[in-house]
Amino acid sequence: MSGTTPWVKASASDSAGECVEQRRHDGMVEVRDSKDPGGPVLRFTAAEFAAWLDGVRKGEFDHLA
């Protein structure tokens, strides 16, 4: 899938902007710091992002919270 979707941040984000945003851009999933929209962007393939989401759903990263 190509094209660009709007940046989206989680509904649980706090009002101080402590959040990350993500979008799809040219077949990649991009992630950025919502407080620094002009700053660096991490880019992941759809498969990489799906693997990360799977780990989140399984609680594999709960120790980081």
Closest of 22, 10, 16, 19 to residue 49, by C-alpha:
22
Percent of the chain with pLDDT over 70: 94
Is 60 inside any structural domain?
Answer: yes
Enumerate the H helices of 1-65 as residue ranges.
46-57
| pTM for this model (two decimals) | 0.81
Domain around 24: 8-64
Is 42 inside any structural domain?
Answer: yes
pLDDT > 80? residue 52: yes
Please state the domain count of the chain.
Answer: 1
What is the predicted pLDDT for the residue at 12? 78
**Cβ contact 55:35 at 8 Å:** no
Question: What is the C-alpha to C-alpha distance for residues 61 and 41, in angstroms, rounded to an integer?
Answer: 21
Tokens 């660009």 locate to 4
